[in-house]
Structure 1
């Protein structure tokens, strides 16, 4: 009998350890008003800083010719969006052990609830956590499938990486879609649709991958920055013939965030549009979800043509790295930073930091310890006694 009970208990625990998420469990739905506990992402910051090229705000310019700044650059079929979106050094990273850093950070983030329950974190800290986990896992999967040029089948095909349940958080098996749709959109997005700009999906047509991790202390500022960049780019929305509004197909993923999709999205776009685009959005007579660009944001995954004046700003940075410069040109024209050619030189230090990194400082760990002890004291125990039959 004891063996049977043990077997049943073991089976139950095994199943619960790999439970699927149908609705938000308490571990994900609750939150704390205490903002003392802050999660650190210094390791992720270090990786993103050296692997992501921030291309700045779009000027809505289109590619004018098929000429290339380097023989390794490939042509791009969408001239309107070819010059947009941050770039990731997929080729260099995929050939370096740095790729293991994203895997190790992803595993580390999955284990965070072992140190402190997610519902003990504030809402902002939770949001930053889910966005960092999603984007780190997304980059890991893209590196795993590299080299690729078009991400559409990878994201939405029969073997979609968005549907693959390869993440485990607090005993729940999760897919990337679970994090986006069932957790972040459900918990945070109903009142703040700006959260949709936190999900990088590897292609030019998606929101940017930032060159820094999301932080609880400034997560909404970071999201607004991403949102403003996306809306005011050709891949976010375009006005044609002054009365036709075309928007990105990425917004189809965000439909659950808008009660009236067209009207509410149009209002959202008007809020974030700059200059004359505000009135153009408001008075456009036609609304079409039509813009798409599935080209991977690999530095060498698209062609860019800069012309004779391309000596500063993001264009110069890109040109310097493509030319294997050890000191790319900064936005002010000076030499600074680290080119792709140097990526292996910092591999050992990055990997060591990743392996030894903790999400909490010693002071923060002490707070968590006291919090756990307080919870144990408050939980107490419940003793069930038989009621007297005379009562």
Structure 2
């Protein structure tokens, strides 16, 4: 009997040990699985963090490699808002009331002049511009480009010291290259406004004086009349009497322009205080090509 009890206890003990071993074996894979899952989660989190970091790095890198944008071309301006203010400021600074031009001062401010010419280049007259808008544009352009020509060839005593000063196509306005001759003869003279000859200035002493304000469409009629009267009343350029005239050669070179609606004397009588006889004797003064400085 005693032996039977001992045998039963041995069997029970063995069963408990086996059950514990099985339980341990069963628990181990579960724990390992849990660890693996935690590691996977960590790796996923780590990968995500790495991606974020890499993304930030890429953004930062891209910022350091961004190149500056090229300068924008001058804005094209509608004719009704196009301003010659920059040119007007230059004229006020460097041209006296009597028309003497300080070319050396212009030269020190050549960047501003270049900007104005660039504005002209990107805002050439359109078909819907009025005649006065076109006239003002081309008169100002001619005068600005003439000064540009002089200061780029400095030092000179006369515009004639420059090789072919009026024939060189030196300026690109819009998509076309222009010379001073192109502007004067192919554009301005074809607009049937003879008074342009007293508004455009060839940088010479015998030329009409360079006005020290820019021409603008809204005041053009008054400005052209003023320039014409000033030139005719200047006794260094013209001597006008009732029966005799000593005129600038401008009236000889461009006589057809002044005879569009009558004779030359008819034209003169509109802008002088002296009534000139239709039979007045006409002669012409020598032209002084020295710089108008």
Alignment TM-score > 0.5, same fold = yes
Q: Give 1:36 shift.
A: 7.5
Q: 2-side partners of 1:145 and 1:36: how far apart? A: 32
Q: Give 1:227 shift.
A: 0.6
Does structure 2 retain, via aligned residues, the 8 Å contact 1:41–1:213? Answer: yes
**Who is 1:203 aligned against?**
204
Residue 286 of structure 1 is aligned with which of 278, 281, 286?
281
Provide the aligned length of Structure 1 versus Structure 2.
216
Q: Classify 1:110/1:267 alpha carbon distance in 2 versus 1 (closer, same or farther; 3 Å).
A: same
Q: 2-side partners of 1:207 and 1:119: how far apart? A: 30
SS in 2 for 1:53: coil
**Who is 1:194 aligned against?**
195
SS in 1 for 2:114: helix
**Who is 1:219 aligned against?**
220
Q: Give 1:151 shift.
A: 3.2
SS in 2 for 1:118: coil
Q: Give 1:206 shift.
A: 1.0
Q: Classify 1:211/1:289 alpha carbon distance in 2 versus 1 (closer, same or farther; 3 Å).
A: same
What is the Cα-based RMSD across aligned positions, in Å? 2.4
Structure with bigger gyration radius: 2
TM-score with structure 1 setting the length: 0.51
Q: Classify 1:285/1:37 alpha carbon distance in 2 versus 1 (closer, same or farther; 3 Å).
A: closer
Does structure 2 retain, via aligned residues, the 8 Å contact 1:247–1:291? Answer: no
SS in 1 for 2:265: helix
Alignment of 1:1-391 (within 5 A): 37-55=80-98, 86-94=99-107, 96=108, 98-113=109-124, 118-154=126-162, 159-187=163-191, 189=192, 192-239=193-240, 243-259=243-259, 264-274=263-273, 278-279=274-275, 281-282=276-277, 285-298=280-293
Q: 2-side partners of 1:292 and 1:284: how far apart? A: 25
Q: 1-side partners of 2:102 and 2:85: how far apart? A: 20
Q: Classify 1:266/1:236 alpha carbon distance in 2 versus 1 (closer, same or farther; 3 Å).
A: farther
Does structure 2 retain, via aligned residues, the 8 Å contact 1:103–1:137? Answer: no
Q: Classify 1:37/1:292 alpha carbon distance in 2 versus 1 (closer, same or farther; 3 Å).
A: same
Q: Classify 1:184/1:52 alpha carbon distance in 2 versus 1 (closer, same or farther; 3 Å).
A: same
Q: Give 1:239 shift.
A: 4.1
Does structure 2 retain, via aligned residues, the 8 Å contact 1:204–1:235? Answer: no
SS in 2 for 1:185: helix
Q: Give 1:134 shift.
A: 0.8
Q: Runs (4+) of structure 1 moved beyond 4 Å?
A: none
Q: Classify 1:243/1:101 alpha carbon distance in 2 versus 1 (closer, same or farther; 3 Å).
A: same
Q: Classify 1:40/1:205 alpha carbon distance in 2 versus 1 (closer, same or farther; 3 Å).
A: same
Q: Which runs of 5+ in 2 are unaligned?
A: 1-77
Q: Give 1:224 shift.
A: 1.0
Does structure 2 retain, via aligned residues, the 8 Å contact 1:102–1:139? Answer: no
Q: Classify 1:221/1:245 alpha carbon distance in 2 versus 1 (closer, same or farther; 3 Å).
A: same
Question: What whole-Å deviation, never above 9, does each CA across 1:108-149 have from its counterpart, x for those lacking one?
Answer: 201114xxx621211111111111111110111111223333
Q: Which runs of 5+ in 1 are unaligned?
A: 1-34, 56-85, 299-391
Q: 2-side partners of 1:210 and 1:196: how far apart? A: 13
SS in 2 for 1:112: coil
Question: What whole-Å deviation, never above 9, does each CA across 1:17-38 have from its counterpart, x for those lacking one?
Answer: xxxxxxxxxxxxxxxxxx9723
Q: Give 1:294 shift.
A: 1.7
Q: Give 1:244 shift.
A: 3.0
TM-score with structure 2 setting the length: 0.67
Does structure 2 retain, via aligned residues, the 8 Å contact 1:131–1:214? Answer: yes
**Who is 1:353 aligned against?**
none
Structure in which a larger fraction of residues adopt helix: 2
**Who is 1:348 aligned against?**
none
